[in-house]
Amino acid sequence: MLSNPELIAMNKLRIFLALYAFTCTQTFSQNALFEQQMEIGFEERQGQYVDLDVKLVNETGDTVILGDILKKPTILNLVYFRCPGVFSPIMFGVSKFIDEVDLKLGEDYQVMTVSFDYNENIDLGIKKKESYISTMKNKESAAAWQFFVSDSANIARLTNSAGFLYKKMGFDFVHPAGLIALAADGKITRYLGGIEFLPFDIKITLVEAADGKIGPSINRLLAVCYSYDSQGNMYVFNIMKVSGIVILFLIISLFLYLSLRRLNLKWKAQR
């Protein structure tokens, strides 16, 4: 039999666990409702195809058809050049894996950065490209990194077909951070969430894309560990959410331990 102090502690723990579970449920429900209302993120469509008839304006000012320039496994990077938040981190993440991945850009794969802000022109994209290439080790290979802009109709067709969901907020946008992997025929093979990308993950993604294989999304934990700060227009580490998950796990573990201990003591008392 458990002593009175142990029974009191058990009852307090049960009450605390119930209250904490209720709070977590309410918090997660509110977050889910907010994300549903905002409709921001990747609507994953592995196995489907991006719209190959989309028209883009390249760095020379020429209008090209997406299907005509998709010649290799491709990393599609949807951003807007004026972004004050995740643009710089994600662009540094792209430039870093271009430098480090054991594949040659322009020969083995492509990287396409497309602005989804139809008000931006290609001159701004060229300036951004030059600034990032200037920080890279392999500048010659990095020159094959392609930048594009387009009009509102074609941007809508591209983002919709790619499952890229974003919202305009004042003069800026709230949008997901990550990359989309495409096969040479435009098939969506994988989503890579986040702002930093391991060269190994990129290489595996591109190898699978070369064969048209569909892979699971990478960095799903970022959706749990990071939240979008609409004021700063960036993703921030959500220490409260992560701490809550850790504490809940510890409480459940302690509850299970005490419950099993109580059952064990009862079993011994009955023998």
The string of pLDDT tens digits covering residues 11-31 is 555 555 555 555 555 544 545
Does the pLDDT of residue 7 top 90, yes or no? no
Percentage of the chain surpassing pLDDT 70? 74
Q: What is the pLDDT of residue 195?
A: 87
Q: What is the pLDDT of residue 93?
A: 92
Q: Mark 24-39 as b/e (b = at least 16 C-beta within 10 Å).
A: eeeeeeeeeeeeeeee
Q: What is the pLDDT of residue 3?
A: 53
Does the pLDDT of residue 101 top 60, yes or no? yes
Cα-based angle 149, 79, 146 (whole degrees, multiple of 5) = 50
CATH code for the part of the protein at 41-235:
3.40.30.10
Q: What is the pLDDT of residue 67?
A: 96
Residue 41's region, left for phi above 0, alpha for psi from -120 to 50, else beta, is left
- Give the position of tokens 């025929």: 185
Greatest pairwise CA separation for the chain in angstroms: 86
pTM higher than 0.75: no
Distance CA 73, CA 68 (A): 13
* Helix, coil or strand: residue 44: coil
Distance CA 174, CA 227 (A): 12
Q: Which two tokens stand for residue 123?
A: 């001159």
Which residues, 6 or more positions from 115, have their beta carbon under 8 angstroms from its beta carbon? 79, 80, 81, 124, 125, 147, 148, 149, 150
Q: For 20-67, how does the pLDDT look when each residue is reduced to its tens digit (9 = 90+)?
A: 555 555 544 545 444 444 478 899 999 999 999 999 999 999 999 999
Distance CA 25, CA 189 (A): 33
Does the pLDDT of residue 194 top 80, yes or no? yes
Q: For 197-232, how does the pLDDT look when each residue is reduced to its tens digit (9 = 90+)?
A: 888 889 999 999 999 988 777 654 444 455 545 454
Contact in structure between 13 and 255 (CB atoms under 8 Å): yes
Q: For 153-162, how does the pLDDT look when each residue is reduced to its tens digit (9 = 90+)?
A: 999 999 999 9
